[in-house]
A = this chain, B = another copy of it.
Amino acid sequence: MRGRMAVWWRCKSFTSSASPSRLAKPLIYLDRPDIWYPSSSPSGVSPYLRHAYNEHAAADIDGKLIANDIKATVATEIRHMKSSIRKVPGLGVILVGKRKDSFSFVSIKKKACEEVGIASVVVELPEDSTEHEVLAVVSLLNRKESVHGILVQLPLPNHLSEEKIINAVNVEKDVDGFHPVNMGNLAMTGREPLFIPCASRGCLEVLHRCSVEIIGKKVVVIGRSKIGGLPTSLLLQPRVFIETITLLFGLERHHATVSVVHAFTKNPEQITREADILVSDVGVPNLVRGHWLKPGVVVIDMGSTLVKDSNNSHCSHVTGDVCYEEAIHKASAITPVPGGVGPVTISMLLSNTVEAAKRAYQWTERSYQQEQSFSYIPLSNVHI
Protein backbone atom coordinates (compact mmCIF):
# COMPACT_ATOMS: atom_id res chain seq x y z
CA MET A 1 0.00 0.00 0.00
CA ARG A 2 3.04 2.25 -0.42
CA GLY A 3 2.87 3.38 3.20
CA ARG A 4 -0.49 4.96 2.64
CA MET A 5 -3.72 4.52 4.54
CA ALA A 6 -5.23 1.17 3.72
CA VAL A 7 -8.18 1.33 1.34
CA TRP A 8 -9.76 -2.08 1.71
CA TRP A 9 -11.38 -3.46 -1.36
CA ARG A 10 -14.67 -5.16 -0.77
CA CYS A 11 -14.97 -7.11 -4.01
CA LYS A 12 -12.24 -9.69 -3.77
CA SER A 13 -13.04 -11.50 -6.96
CA PHE A 14 -13.86 -8.51 -9.10
CA THR A 15 -12.69 -8.60 -12.68
CA SER A 16 -13.04 -5.82 -15.18
CA SER A 17 -15.65 -7.70 -17.18
CA ALA A 18 -18.03 -8.07 -14.24
CA SER A 19 -20.82 -5.57 -13.84
CA PRO A 20 -20.10 -3.31 -10.86
CA SER A 21 -23.77 -3.17 -9.97
CA ARG A 22 -23.89 -6.91 -9.36
CA LEU A 23 -20.94 -6.74 -7.01
CA ALA A 24 -21.79 -3.58 -5.12
CA LYS A 25 -23.31 -3.71 -1.67
CA PRO A 26 -26.84 -2.34 -1.41
CA LEU A 27 -27.58 1.30 -0.74
CA ILE A 28 -27.57 2.61 2.80
CA TYR A 29 -31.33 2.81 3.11
CA LEU A 30 -33.09 4.87 5.69
CA ASP A 31 -34.17 2.02 7.89
CA ARG A 32 -30.46 1.47 8.50
CA PRO A 33 -28.99 4.69 7.17
CA ASP A 34 -25.39 4.40 8.18
CA ILE A 35 -24.49 0.81 8.72
CA TRP A 36 -20.89 -0.06 8.12
CA TYR A 37 -19.98 -3.44 6.69
CA PRO A 38 -16.52 -4.17 7.98
CA SER A 39 -14.25 -5.53 5.31
CA SER A 40 -11.27 -7.73 5.90
CA SER A 41 -10.04 -8.26 2.38
CA PRO A 42 -6.93 -6.26 1.64
CA SER A 43 -6.74 -7.28 -1.99
CA GLY A 44 -8.89 -7.00 -5.07
CA VAL A 45 -10.13 -4.07 -7.13
CA SER A 46 -13.03 -1.74 -6.39
CA PRO A 47 -15.17 -1.12 -9.42
CA TYR A 48 -15.46 2.53 -8.44
CA LEU A 49 -11.75 3.35 -8.39
CA ARG A 50 -9.91 4.36 -11.54
CA HIS A 51 -6.23 3.78 -10.97
CA ALA A 52 -3.82 6.16 -12.62
CA TYR A 53 -1.08 4.96 -14.98
CA ASN A 54 1.42 6.42 -12.53
CA GLU A 55 1.43 4.01 -9.60
CA HIS A 56 2.31 6.81 -7.15
CA ALA A 57 -0.79 8.83 -8.02
CA ALA A 58 -4.12 8.57 -6.20
CA ALA A 59 -6.98 6.54 -7.61
CA ASP A 60 -9.93 8.58 -8.89
CA ILE A 61 -13.25 7.72 -7.28
CA ASP A 62 -15.74 7.36 -10.12
CA GLY A 63 -18.78 9.24 -8.84
CA LYS A 64 -20.63 8.83 -12.13
CA LEU A 65 -20.37 5.05 -11.96
CA ILE A 66 -21.55 5.03 -8.34
CA ALA A 67 -24.44 7.33 -9.29
CA ASN A 68 -25.41 5.10 -12.22
CA ASP A 69 -25.48 2.04 -9.99
CA ILE A 70 -27.62 3.84 -7.43
CA LYS A 71 -29.94 5.06 -10.18
CA ALA A 72 -30.26 1.52 -11.52
CA THR A 73 -31.25 0.24 -8.06
CA VAL A 74 -33.71 3.12 -7.58
CA ALA A 75 -35.23 2.57 -11.04
CA THR A 76 -35.73 -1.12 -10.32
CA GLU A 77 -37.48 -0.32 -7.03
CA ILE A 78 -39.76 2.16 -8.77
CA ARG A 79 -40.66 -0.42 -11.44
CA HIS A 80 -41.48 -2.92 -8.72
CA MET A 81 -43.53 -0.35 -6.81
CA LYS A 82 -45.46 0.53 -9.96
CA SER A 83 -46.17 -3.09 -10.79
CA SER A 84 -47.12 -3.83 -7.17
CA ILE A 85 -49.30 -0.86 -6.13
CA ARG A 86 -49.61 1.15 -9.37
CA LYS A 87 -47.94 4.17 -7.82
CA VAL A 88 -44.70 6.02 -8.51
CA PRO A 89 -42.76 8.42 -6.27
CA GLY A 90 -43.32 12.14 -6.85
CA LEU A 91 -40.93 15.06 -6.29
CA GLY A 92 -42.07 18.68 -6.05
CA VAL A 93 -39.42 21.31 -6.73
CA ILE A 94 -39.88 24.99 -5.93
CA LEU A 95 -37.70 27.39 -7.90
CA VAL A 96 -37.93 31.09 -7.09
CA GLY A 97 -36.30 33.56 -9.45
CA LYS A 98 -34.14 33.16 -12.51
CA ARG A 99 -30.66 32.36 -11.17
CA LYS A 100 -28.83 30.54 -13.92
CA ASP A 101 -27.08 28.07 -11.61
CA SER A 102 -30.31 27.23 -9.77
CA PHE A 103 -32.11 26.75 -13.08
CA SER A 104 -29.35 24.44 -14.24
CA PHE A 105 -29.39 22.40 -10.99
CA VAL A 106 -33.17 22.00 -11.19
CA SER A 107 -32.91 20.83 -14.82
CA ILE A 108 -30.33 18.20 -13.84
CA LYS A 109 -32.57 16.96 -11.00
CA LYS A 110 -35.64 16.88 -13.24
CA LYS A 111 -33.77 14.90 -15.88
CA ALA A 112 -32.50 12.44 -13.27
CA CYS A 113 -36.07 11.96 -12.01
CA GLU A 114 -37.23 11.14 -15.54
CA GLU A 115 -34.43 8.61 -15.97
CA VAL A 116 -35.54 6.53 -12.99
CA GLY A 117 -39.30 7.00 -13.23
CA ILE A 118 -39.98 9.62 -10.54
CA ALA A 119 -42.81 11.99 -11.44
CA SER A 120 -41.40 15.47 -10.87
CA VAL A 121 -43.19 18.79 -10.89
CA VAL A 122 -41.29 22.08 -10.90
CA VAL A 123 -43.13 25.14 -9.61
CA GLU A 124 -41.37 28.21 -10.97
CA LEU A 125 -42.11 31.42 -9.12
CA PRO A 126 -41.04 34.96 -10.07
CA GLU A 127 -38.08 36.61 -8.30
CA ASP A 128 -40.37 39.07 -6.50
CA SER A 129 -42.69 36.44 -5.03
CA THR A 130 -43.78 37.17 -1.49
CA GLU A 131 -43.06 34.82 1.41
CA HIS A 132 -46.79 34.22 1.64
CA GLU A 133 -46.92 33.07 -1.99
CA VAL A 134 -43.98 30.67 -1.58
CA LEU A 135 -45.44 29.30 1.64
CA ALA A 136 -48.75 28.73 -0.15
CA VAL A 137 -46.97 26.55 -2.73
CA VAL A 138 -45.18 24.62 0.03
CA SER A 139 -48.52 24.07 1.74
CA LEU A 140 -50.07 22.87 -1.53
CA LEU A 141 -47.26 20.37 -2.11
CA ASN A 142 -47.46 19.26 1.54
CA ARG A 143 -51.10 18.35 0.98
CA LYS A 144 -50.66 16.72 -2.43
CA GLU A 145 -50.70 12.94 -2.03
CA SER A 146 -48.81 12.24 -5.25
CA VAL A 147 -45.87 14.40 -4.07
CA HIS A 148 -43.67 12.49 -1.61
CA GLY A 149 -40.63 14.74 -1.59
CA ILE A 150 -40.37 18.54 -1.61
CA LEU A 151 -37.23 20.42 -2.55
CA VAL A 152 -36.84 24.18 -2.25
CA GLN A 153 -33.99 25.17 -4.56
CA LEU A 154 -31.50 27.30 -2.63
CA PRO A 155 -30.43 30.06 -2.39
CA LEU A 156 -33.72 31.93 -2.22
CA PRO A 157 -33.92 35.64 -3.06
CA ASN A 158 -32.76 37.77 -0.12
CA HIS A 159 -36.20 39.09 0.82
CA LEU A 160 -37.45 35.56 1.60
CA SER A 161 -36.77 33.79 4.90
CA GLU A 162 -35.13 30.49 4.03
CA GLU A 163 -35.72 29.33 7.61
CA LYS A 164 -39.48 29.97 7.52
CA ILE A 165 -39.89 28.30 4.13
CA ILE A 166 -37.78 25.22 4.92
CA ASN A 167 -39.50 24.84 8.29
CA ALA A 168 -42.89 24.83 6.51
CA VAL A 169 -41.98 21.70 4.51
CA ASN A 170 -43.61 18.58 5.97
CA VAL A 171 -40.86 16.68 7.82
CA GLU A 172 -41.98 13.49 6.05
CA LYS A 173 -41.42 15.12 2.64
CA ASP A 174 -38.16 16.92 3.52
CA VAL A 175 -35.99 14.97 1.04
CA ASP A 176 -33.23 17.58 1.33
CA GLY A 177 -32.97 16.82 5.08
CA PHE A 178 -32.67 20.52 5.98
CA HIS A 179 -35.68 20.66 8.33
CA PRO A 180 -34.44 21.27 11.90
CA VAL A 181 -36.25 18.16 13.13
CA ASN A 182 -34.31 15.99 10.69
CA MET A 183 -31.06 17.83 11.41
CA GLY A 184 -31.63 17.59 15.18
CA ASN A 185 -32.32 13.87 14.96
CA LEU A 186 -29.21 13.45 12.85
CA ALA A 187 -27.17 15.23 15.53
CA MET A 188 -28.48 13.35 18.55
CA THR A 189 -27.24 9.93 19.57
CA GLY A 190 -29.84 7.20 19.40
CA ARG A 191 -32.14 9.15 17.05
CA GLU A 192 -32.77 8.50 13.37
CA PRO A 193 -33.65 11.32 10.98
CA LEU A 194 -36.23 10.61 8.29
CA PHE A 195 -33.83 12.04 5.71
CA ILE A 196 -30.11 12.69 5.60
CA PRO A 197 -28.95 15.62 3.40
CA CYS A 198 -28.12 14.24 -0.04
CA ALA A 199 -24.50 15.43 -0.29
CA SER A 200 -23.62 13.89 3.09
CA ARG A 201 -25.39 10.65 2.31
CA GLY A 202 -23.50 10.71 -0.99
CA CYS A 203 -20.19 11.20 0.82
CA LEU A 204 -20.89 8.18 3.05
CA GLU A 205 -22.03 6.12 0.08
CA VAL A 206 -18.77 6.91 -1.71
CA LEU A 207 -16.73 5.82 1.31
CA HIS A 208 -18.80 2.65 1.70
CA ARG A 209 -18.64 1.68 -1.96
CA CYS A 210 -14.88 2.19 -2.00
CA SER A 211 -14.69 0.22 1.28
CA VAL A 212 -12.82 2.94 3.10
CA GLU A 213 -12.53 2.02 6.75
CA ILE A 214 -14.12 4.72 8.93
CA ILE A 215 -14.21 3.34 12.45
CA GLY A 216 -11.50 4.82 14.65
CA LYS A 217 -10.14 6.96 11.82
CA LYS A 218 -9.39 10.65 12.05
CA VAL A 219 -11.68 12.66 9.81
CA VAL A 220 -11.26 16.36 9.21
CA VAL A 221 -14.22 18.23 7.74
CA ILE A 222 -13.55 21.67 6.30
CA GLY A 223 -16.67 23.84 6.39
CA ARG A 224 -19.93 23.73 8.32
CA SER A 225 -22.72 24.30 5.76
CA LYS A 226 -26.00 22.50 6.37
CA ILE A 227 -25.76 21.06 2.85
CA GLY A 228 -22.46 19.23 3.27
CA GLY A 229 -19.98 19.90 6.06
CA LEU A 230 -22.28 19.93 9.08
CA PRO A 231 -24.33 16.79 8.35
CA THR A 232 -21.22 14.91 7.21
CA SER A 233 -19.44 15.71 10.47
CA LEU A 234 -22.50 14.54 12.42
CA LEU A 235 -22.97 11.41 10.34
CA LEU A 236 -19.40 10.23 10.80
CA GLN A 237 -19.46 10.43 14.58
CA PRO A 238 -20.98 7.82 16.89
CA ARG A 239 -24.73 8.25 16.94
CA VAL A 240 -25.96 5.18 18.79
CA PHE A 241 -24.77 3.16 21.70
CA ILE A 242 -22.46 0.58 20.22
CA GLU A 243 -23.69 -2.08 22.62
CA THR A 244 -27.24 -1.83 21.30
CA ILE A 245 -26.21 -2.02 17.70
CA THR A 246 -23.76 -4.84 18.23
CA LEU A 247 -26.35 -6.87 20.07
CA LEU A 248 -29.14 -6.21 17.61
CA PHE A 249 -27.37 -6.39 14.30
CA GLY A 250 -23.82 -7.49 14.98
CA LEU A 251 -22.81 -4.42 13.04
CA GLU A 252 -21.05 -1.23 13.86
CA ARG A 253 -21.61 2.34 12.82
CA HIS A 254 -19.24 5.16 11.95
CA HIS A 255 -17.09 5.98 14.87
CA ALA A 256 -14.63 8.38 13.37
CA THR A 257 -12.92 11.07 15.41
CA VAL A 258 -14.09 14.22 13.69
CA SER A 259 -12.49 17.67 13.76
CA VAL A 260 -14.16 20.60 12.06
CA VAL A 261 -11.95 23.24 10.48
CA HIS A 262 -13.13 26.67 9.34
CA ALA A 263 -12.00 30.17 8.44
CA PHE A 264 -11.05 30.96 12.03
CA THR A 265 -8.85 27.92 12.49
CA LYS A 266 -5.25 28.91 12.97
CA ASN A 267 -2.87 26.88 10.80
CA PRO A 268 -5.59 24.60 9.38
CA GLU A 269 -2.98 22.57 7.49
CA GLN A 270 -1.58 21.32 10.81
CA ILE A 271 -4.97 19.75 11.55
CA THR A 272 -5.73 18.49 8.04
CA ARG A 273 -2.33 16.80 7.90
CA GLU A 274 -3.56 14.46 10.66
CA ALA A 275 -6.59 13.32 8.66
CA ASP A 276 -7.09 9.76 7.39
CA ILE A 277 -10.16 11.03 5.56
CA LEU A 278 -10.50 14.66 4.48
CA VAL A 279 -13.87 16.14 3.50
CA SER A 280 -13.96 19.65 2.12
CA ASP A 281 -17.14 21.67 1.60
CA VAL A 282 -16.20 25.32 1.41
CA GLY A 283 -16.51 26.54 -2.17
CA VAL A 284 -13.03 28.07 -2.33
CA PRO A 285 -11.19 26.70 -5.40
CA ASN A 286 -7.87 25.00 -4.65
CA LEU A 287 -7.98 25.92 -0.95
CA VAL A 288 -6.57 22.54 0.07
CA ARG A 289 -3.02 22.22 -1.22
CA GLY A 290 -0.75 19.20 -1.37
CA HIS A 291 1.08 20.07 1.85
CA TRP A 292 -2.26 20.07 3.72
CA LEU A 293 -2.52 16.31 3.20
CA LYS A 294 -1.14 13.23 4.94
CA PRO A 295 0.22 10.57 2.58
CA GLY A 296 -2.48 8.00 1.87
CA VAL A 297 -5.43 10.19 2.87
CA VAL A 298 -8.81 9.62 1.20
CA VAL A 299 -10.05 12.98 -0.11
CA ILE A 300 -13.75 13.75 -0.59
CA ASP A 301 -14.05 17.07 -2.39
CA MET A 302 -17.58 18.45 -2.02
CA GLY A 303 -16.65 21.90 -3.31
CA SER A 304 -17.94 23.02 -6.68
CA THR A 305 -17.18 26.53 -7.91
CA LEU A 306 -17.51 27.94 -11.42
CA VAL A 307 -14.16 29.46 -12.37
CA LYS A 308 -13.39 31.42 -15.56
CA ASP A 309 -10.74 29.89 -17.80
CA SER A 310 -7.43 31.76 -17.68
CA ASN A 311 -7.04 31.54 -21.47
CA ASN A 312 -10.57 32.44 -22.42
CA SER A 313 -12.65 34.60 -20.10
CA HIS A 314 -15.83 33.59 -21.95
CA CYS A 315 -15.39 30.00 -20.91
CA SER A 316 -15.55 28.61 -17.41
CA HIS A 317 -15.18 25.29 -15.65
CA VAL A 318 -16.17 23.76 -12.32
CA THR A 319 -13.39 23.48 -9.72
CA GLY A 320 -13.32 21.79 -6.34
CA ASP A 321 -11.87 22.91 -3.01
CA VAL A 322 -8.85 20.64 -3.36
CA CYS A 323 -5.92 21.34 -5.65
CA TYR A 324 -6.29 18.09 -7.60
CA GLU A 325 -2.92 18.21 -9.31
CA GLU A 326 -1.10 18.39 -5.98
CA ALA A 327 -3.46 16.10 -4.06
CA ILE A 328 -3.08 13.11 -6.38
CA HIS A 329 0.56 12.82 -5.35
CA LYS A 330 -0.40 12.48 -1.67
CA ALA A 331 -3.83 10.85 -1.48
CA SER A 332 -4.65 7.17 -1.93
CA ALA A 333 -8.07 8.00 -3.42
CA ILE A 334 -9.80 11.23 -4.39
CA THR A 335 -13.16 12.35 -5.76
CA PRO A 336 -12.52 14.52 -8.81
CA VAL A 337 -14.53 17.65 -9.57
CA PRO A 338 -16.60 17.33 -11.69
CA GLY A 339 -17.56 13.65 -11.69
CA GLY A 340 -17.05 12.90 -8.00
CA VAL A 341 -19.53 13.65 -5.21
CA GLY A 342 -21.84 15.73 -7.47
CA PRO A 343 -23.51 12.90 -9.43
CA VAL A 344 -23.80 10.78 -6.26
CA THR A 345 -25.60 13.66 -4.52
CA ILE A 346 -28.22 13.79 -7.28
CA SER A 347 -28.74 10.03 -7.08
CA MET A 348 -29.20 10.34 -3.31
CA LEU A 349 -32.01 12.82 -3.90
CA LEU A 350 -33.71 10.18 -6.03
CA SER A 351 -33.12 7.57 -3.34
CA ASN A 352 -34.52 9.87 -0.61
CA THR A 353 -37.61 10.50 -2.75
CA VAL A 354 -38.20 6.78 -3.25
CA GLU A 355 -37.80 6.23 0.50
CA ALA A 356 -40.39 8.95 1.16
CA ALA A 357 -42.85 7.26 -1.23
CA LYS A 358 -42.19 3.83 0.27
CA ARG A 359 -42.95 5.23 3.71
CA ALA A 360 -46.09 6.98 2.49
CA TYR A 361 -47.43 3.80 0.85
CA GLN A 362 -45.96 1.49 3.51
CA TRP A 363 -44.48 -0.48 0.65
CA THR A 364 -41.16 -2.31 0.79
CA GLU A 365 -39.07 -4.17 -1.73
CA ARG A 366 -39.46 -7.21 0.51
CA SER A 367 -43.25 -7.08 0.23
CA TYR A 368 -42.82 -7.05 -3.56
CA GLN A 369 -40.49 -10.07 -3.42
CA GLN A 370 -42.99 -11.95 -1.25
CA GLU A 371 -45.77 -11.02 -3.67
CA GLN A 372 -43.68 -12.33 -6.57
CA SER A 373 -42.71 -15.58 -4.87
CA PHE A 374 -46.38 -16.14 -3.99
CA SER A 375 -47.48 -15.69 -7.59
CA TYR A 376 -44.90 -18.25 -8.75
CA ILE A 377 -45.97 -21.12 -6.49
CA PRO A 378 -46.39 -24.09 -8.85
CA LEU A 379 -50.00 -25.23 -9.11
CA SER A 380 -48.95 -28.76 -8.08
CA ASN A 381 -48.07 -27.34 -4.66
CA VAL A 382 -51.48 -25.78 -4.11
CA HIS A 383 -53.84 -28.05 -2.18
CA ILE A 384 -57.43 -26.93 -1.98
Contact = CB atoms under 8 A, between A and B. Distances in A.
B180 A191 contact: yes
A286 interface: no
A18 B84 CA distance: 78
A229 to B, nearest CB: 9
A259 B259 CA distance: 4
A181 B171 CA distance: 11
Contact of A163 (B178, B182, B191, B268): B191
A191 B190 CA distance: 23
A185 interface: yes
A187 B187 contact: yes
Contacts of A263: 238, 242, 255
B257 A189 contact: no
Interface in A211-239: 215-216, 224-226, 230, 234, 237-238
Interface in A139-169: 163
Interface string A5-47: 0000000000000000000000000000000000000000000
Contact of A257 (B215, B238, B255, B259): B259
Contacts of A181: 180-181, 184
Contacts of A190: 163
Interface string A253-264: 001111111111
Contacts of A261: 257
A67 B183 CA distance: 32
Contact of A224 (B179, B182, B237): B237
Contacts of A224: 189, 237-238
A271 interface: yes
Interface string A301-315: 000000000000000
A264 B259 CA distance: 14
B266 A188 contact: no
14 contacts: A163-B190, A179-B184, A180-B180, A182-B184, A184-B184, A187-B187, A188-B230, A215-B264, A237-B260, A255-B264, A257-B260, A257-B264, A258-B259, A258-B260
Given A180-B188, A181-B184, A183-B184, 7 more contacts: A180-B185, A183-B188, A184-B187, A187-B187, A189-B225, A189-B230, A238-B264
